[in-house]
Amino acid sequence: LGGAIPLNGGAQVYLSKIFGELFGFLFTWCAVMVLKPGSSAIISIIMGEYLVRAAIGAEAENVSSWINKSVALVGLLVVTLLNCISTRLGTRMGDMFMFMKFIALLGVTVIGIVVAVTGFSASGEANQDWKTIGWFEGTSTSASSWAVALYAGLWAFDGWDNTNYVVGEFRNPTRDLPRVIHTAMPLVILSYIFANIAYFFVLPIKTLNSSNTVAVMFGNEVFGPIGSLVLALIVSASCFGALNATTFTSGRLVYVAGKEGYLPAVFGKIGVRNHDEPTTSRLRTRNWASKRLAKLCGDEETGLFFTPVYAMVLNACLTACYVFVGEFGTLVTFYGVAGYTFYFLTVLGLIILRVREPNLERPYKTWITTPIIFCCVSLFLLSRAVFAEPLQTLIVLVFVGIGVPIYYWRIAGRDQVKRESGSSGRGWKFWKWGKS
């Protein structure tokens, strides 16, 4: 789809073209209200749990979830503030933590292999469960339980579609998009798979099933308390980087929604004084200290806080709400149901587009069996979620349902008025791309 429709926006553009603008709007609505803040809340909670474990140690008894959530909220506040200060500061933080993440994954993988071969352990007795106990022993036979487990597993690999949000900015999408798909995606997937295999080599099955901070237990098993501390800090930093990246993209998504009129106009403003672009007088009146601070932390040409501040504040508030009311397991399922509803529709649209527009230029063409298998798996996940987690499924349906009258109120009604007045207006014109 990214090669056939080389425009920014990802699923929003594809759904609008294939199914109509209502579906594109509903995706944006759910992305702003559910998907982005829900994902940020999950990452924040994980970061909070690991930071608390770094402070109290791996062997401590379970602590109150509100302590973890308090730390998560502090981390969310810090990340939001950094991204509000300047774009450059946010991107620099992202680059630094991405490098740290790959180093951590490589280290865990190598250590796991060494432990499996040598039997080294700080406790003196190496784990043998991976040899003597089946990795799937005691697994539930309920299809609904499999669906919930798959949501958790697939969430760890979520983000595979993010490249399509910016494919319109590729100089040569026909060449570059397949390169990204065939190199970066397998590298990330294999890195996490190998890290999970390393956990099985080092930790007993019982520990893996009961702990939310597996990396802390991994470090404690191999190197003792110092190992658990180091791994806890590394994973926390990795989560901080992931939260930073999610906050960065979420703010831009909310900003665009505000600019297009899907949200109140204040969320489509740049900066705290609602400047759409930096003025020459504003830049000249900055004092020496402001300029030095901008050079160090901000964007030198635009200064500090020349970012979609209101958009990121809205995203932070929504994320904080999810942190307050949710737990890791419930949020993952909630996010999964919402996400795979639109993943299913988008990939189904690829199949429909093959039939409806067979002559559309497709620089990259996947085997038809791949989207069919994906749709079948997505349909299985969605259908079983109704029985496994009916409340989360109902809440997602309510969110989607609320978006329908909002669309007819803010978008369809606005466009009807503009058509009657002879004004073409802005927004939702890209979905007609390719129909001429």
Q: Which three-class secondary structure state does DSSP give residue 299? A: strand
**Cα–Cα dist 360/82, whole Å:** 43
| pTM of full prediction above 0.85 | no
Domain ranges of the chain: 11-270+307-432
Q: What is the pLDDT of residue 299?
A: 54
Q: What is the pLDDT of residue 295?
A: 60
Work out whether the CA dihedral 331, 336, 337, 343 comes out positive or negative: positive
Q: What is the pLDDT of residue 416?
A: 57
Q: Which amino acid makes up residue 119? A: G
Q: What is the pLDDT of residue 289?
A: 55
Q: What is the pLDDT of residue 253?
A: 81
Q: Please give the radius of gyration of the chain, using alpha carbons only, rounded to the nearest integer.
A: 23
Pair of tokens at residue 418: 């503009």
Q: Which three-class secondary structure state does DSSP give residue 303? A: strand
Q: Which amino acid makes up residue 349? A: G
pLDDT digits (tens, 9 = 90+) for 203-251: 888 888 877 788 888 888 888 888 888 888 888 888 898 898 888 888 8
**Cα–Cα dist 11/352, whole Å:** 15
Contact of 34 with 396, CB cutoff 8 Å: yes
Secondary structure tally for the chain: helices H, strands E = 18, 0
Please, where are the H alpha helices in 57-172? 65-85, 87-118, 129-132, 143-156
Q: What is the pLDDT of residue 413?
A: 64
Q: Which three-class secondary structure state does DSSP give residue 253? A: helix
Closest CA to 137 of 205, 218, 210, 208: 205
Pair of tokens at residue 5: 């429709």
Q: What is the pLDDT of residue 9?
A: 62
Rounded to 10 degrees, the C-alpha dihedral 18/23/25/28 comes to: -90
Q: Which residues of the chain have pLDDT under 50?
A: 280-281, 283-285, 423-436
Q: What is the pLDDT of residue 433?
A: 43
The backbone torsions φ and ψ at residue 198, rounded to the nearest 5 degrees and listed phi first, read: -60, -40
Closest CA to 72 of 323, 315, 241: 323
Greatest extent of the chain over all pairs of C-alpha atoms, in Å:
80
pLDDT digits (tens, 9 = 90+) for 156-205: 887 777 666 666 556 777 777 778 778 888 888 888 899 889 998 888 88
For the domain 11-270+307-432, what is the CATH code?
1.20.1740.10
Q: What is the pLDDT of residue 285?
A: 47
**Cα–Cα dist 407/64, whole Å:** 41
The backbone torsions φ and ψ at residue 303, rounded to the nearest 5 degrees and listed phi first, read: 85, -165
Question: Could you tell me the end-to-end alpha-carbon distance of the chain, in angstroms, rounded to an integer?
Answer: 18
